[in-house]
Structure 1
């Protein structure tokens, strides 16, 4: 067994042990020591891979986002309208995240970090700014690319990231949704997806286009300030 394979197996074991501990003990009562003991590794070894519980949650979130991308891409059909693509992507995310609703707030914190400070995930080659953000935006870019009709050129380049912000807004709603099976979140998706698509189509009209272009300029300016 190569060192790389063994390292990945240890990381996966720690993540699985953490998930089991979170479910049985709760996030607050779970410690890095209890995770290490459940995984059968030393505490020092656990801290080598992950400096905190939050970094373990971040790694789990990255795995879930990879699964979301893998599940969503085959659903994107050339010529299908943007609203349907958005609906399928958002619902797939709710399906995948559903079992982990109890610590969804930790997912949001790791998905949108206040800074890009290096951590163990960077030491081991992740290199992403924000957990899964680039891959998630790329998924929405693919949805835009294959959708028909195509959005206006004025917003086409920025639309994938704007849709990602819609996605994050739905995720935030889901975190605080206490309805059975988070059905209110699913109802929100059913309403938001066609509405977003309609706004994109209406942006072709002169009056709406001016408003949309103003929003895009504000978004671009805020992004440059980052």
Structure 2
């Protein structure tokens, strides 16, 4: 028999048929985001989230099982939006170099923004106790930046424009190059504010030059010619 007032148990029974209103779900996630950003994951309570979202506790549990489930839902929503925007930047590119530059600038700007840096610190703070949250945030899933870039690079390799043996590694390398001068410094507090747009543009430009300089088909042909010449003189 159900215990009177056990809203959470009642919500679990209804969840299969309820919790389908995208507007209400977005309202809850918006309220949760404000709470997490201002209080942190540990300090934010479900009571505070319901108050901030302007919904009842019963409604909250219809949509999300607990605070961890709510946080995962927020992670998925934010990452989905970011990756959709990142893909659009790739699609806007007039050339491979331009597409990479647009992508690198967008991802670096977003990943080193105050909001995302705070979110990453929050996730790292609970990673040992709740590894599933860290996996959701940093893990290899369809919302990962390197997979978005990998999908873009693959047809370039097939067309012979780029010569890449390991697309996964190359995608990760480009992201590291694009954020080389700022990401870790931002994350660990050595860079209090995000880099100005002009500096991000400069860093990403150098990343594009290095990436295409190595993986571009012309570079590989030159390297092969040098190798063949060396063998002939050896």
TM-score range, shorter chain: 0.5 to 0.7
Aligned to 1:152: 163
1:3 aligns with 2:3: no
Q: CA deviation at 1:17?
A: 0.6
Aligned to 2:7: none
Q: CA deviation at 1:140?
A: 0.6
Aligned to 1:182: 195
Aligned to 2:147: 138
Does structure 2 conserve the Cα–Cα contact (< 8 Å) formed by 1:138 and 1:160? yes
Question: Which residues of structure 1 form unaligned runs of 5+?
Answer: 120-127, 210-226
CA 1:79/1:197 → structure 2, altered by over 3 Å: closer, same or farther?
A: same
Helix, strand or coil at the partner of 1:133: coil
2:208 to 193, 202, 222: 193
Does structure 1 conserve the Cα–Cα contact (< 8 Å) formed by 2:31 and 2:49? yes
Q: Distance in 1 between matches of 2:131 and 2:119?
A: 22
Superposed, 1:116-131 pairs within 5 Å as: none
Aligned to 1:212: none
Instruction: Provide the TM-score with structure 2 as the length reference.
Output: 0.58
Q: Distance in 2 between matches of 1:134 and 1:33?
A: 32
Helix, strand or coil at the partner of 1:5: coil
Aligned to 1:75: 89
Q: CA deviation at 1:9?
A: 4.2
Q: Distance in 2 between matches of 1:48 and 1:19?
A: 15
Question: Which residues of structure 2 form unaligned runs of 5+?
Answer: 1-16, 228-234
Does structure 2 conserve the Cα–Cα contact (< 8 Å) formed by 1:36 and 1:42? yes
Superposed, 1:1-226 pairs within 5 Å as: 3-6=18-21, 8-23=22-37, 25-27=38-40, 29-39=43-53, 40-42=55-57, 45-46=60-61, 49=64, 51-52=66-67, 56-76=70-90, 80-81=95-96, 83-96=97-110, 98=113, 100-101=115-116, 103-106=118-121, 109=124, 133-136=141-144, 137-145=146-154, 147=156, 150-156=161-167, 158-163=169-174, 171-175=183-187, 176=189, 177-179=191-193, 181-183=194-196, 187-201=202-216, 202-203=219-220, 205-206=223-224
Aligned CA-pair RMSD: 4.5
Q: CA deviation at 1:200?
A: 1.9
Does structure 1 conserve the Cα–Cα contact (< 8 Å) formed by 2:35 and 2:49? yes
Structure having greater relative contact order (Cα 8 Å, sep ≥ 6): 1
Does structure 2 conserve the Cα–Cα contact (< 8 Å) formed by 1:14 and 1:46? no
Q: Distance in 1 between matches of 2:116 and 2:161?
A: 35
CA 1:129/1:36 → structure 2, altered by over 3 Å: closer, same or farther?
A: closer
Q: Specify the structure having the higher radius of gyration (Cα).
A: 2
Q: CA deviation at 1:117?
A: 7.0
